[in-house]
Amino acid sequence: MTQAFVAIGANLGDAVASVRIAMAQLDMIPRTRVTARSSLYRTAPFEASGPDFINAVVAVDTGLAPEAFLDALQRLEKHAGRERPFHHAPRTLDLDLLCHGDTVLTSPRLTLPHPRMGERAFVLMPLAEIAPDRVAPEELAAVAGQSITRI
């Protein structure tokens, strides 16, 4: 089993319910078990438009390879009605694989660790809540000006 972290976000429909449902559905992915869930956070869209986002981070242990786990995440997004009409479009559900063990990977489909996670308070704050050893104080300081509220 490999420890992985998934960022969850939604800003269309009942975003709070969408994030909570996604947290439960992650536990139903074959060979995957949720081991920690952050609080929910409200954030203004970052490099995007639309209503505020509800965000969280979940830790899982998974027996799936990174690409297979990404496939499972994208199936959950599709089931939740995720559409991709343009880059950074508002979304019913967004699941980002932040890291998968110590895997370092760059492919057309997947980059690990996630290349922009250190720039986003909506990732770092909930990640620090459930895995404080994964987030350096200087990373949190760098995103301190971004609007984020624990709910």
Tokens 């895995």, located at residue = 131
Query: Which residue out of 20, 33, 61, 96 is catalytically annotated?
Result: 96
Given a contact cutoff of 8 angstroms between Cβ atoms, the answer to whether 93 and 8 are in contact is yes
Closest CA to 101 of 9, 1, 2, 12: 2
pTM, 2 dp: 0.93
Vertex 34 angle, CA 10 and 99, to 5° = 70
pLDDT, averaged across the chain: 92
How confident is the model over 16-36, as a mean pLDDT?
97
Number of other CB atoms surrounding residue 85 within 10 Å: 7
Residue 82 scores a pLDDT above 60 = no
Query: Which residue out of 37, 91, 120, 134 is catalytically annotated?
Result: 91
pLDDT in the model for residue 23: 97
Q: How far is CA 140 from CA 7, 53, 121, 151, in A?
A: 16, 19, 7, 19
Query: Any idea which of 16-25, 47-56, 78-87, 108-117 has the lowest mean pLDDT?
Result: 78-87
Is position 82 annotated as part of the catalytic site? yes
Is position 71 annotated as part of the catalytic site? no
Domain boundaries, the chain: 2-150
Query: Which residue out of 37, 42, 82, 120 is catalytically annotated?
Result: 82
E strand intervals along the chain: 2-10, 32-37, 41-43, 53-62, 94-100, 105-106, 111-112, 148-150
pLDDT in the model for residue 35: 98
Query: Which residue out of 42, 94, 120, 134 is catalytically annotated?
Result: 94
* CA gap 48, 70 in Å, rounded: 22
Assign domain 2-150 to its CATH superfamily. 7,8-Dihydro-6-hydroxymethylpterin-pyrophosphokinase HPPK (3.30.70.560)
Phi/psi at 47 (5° precision): 55, 30
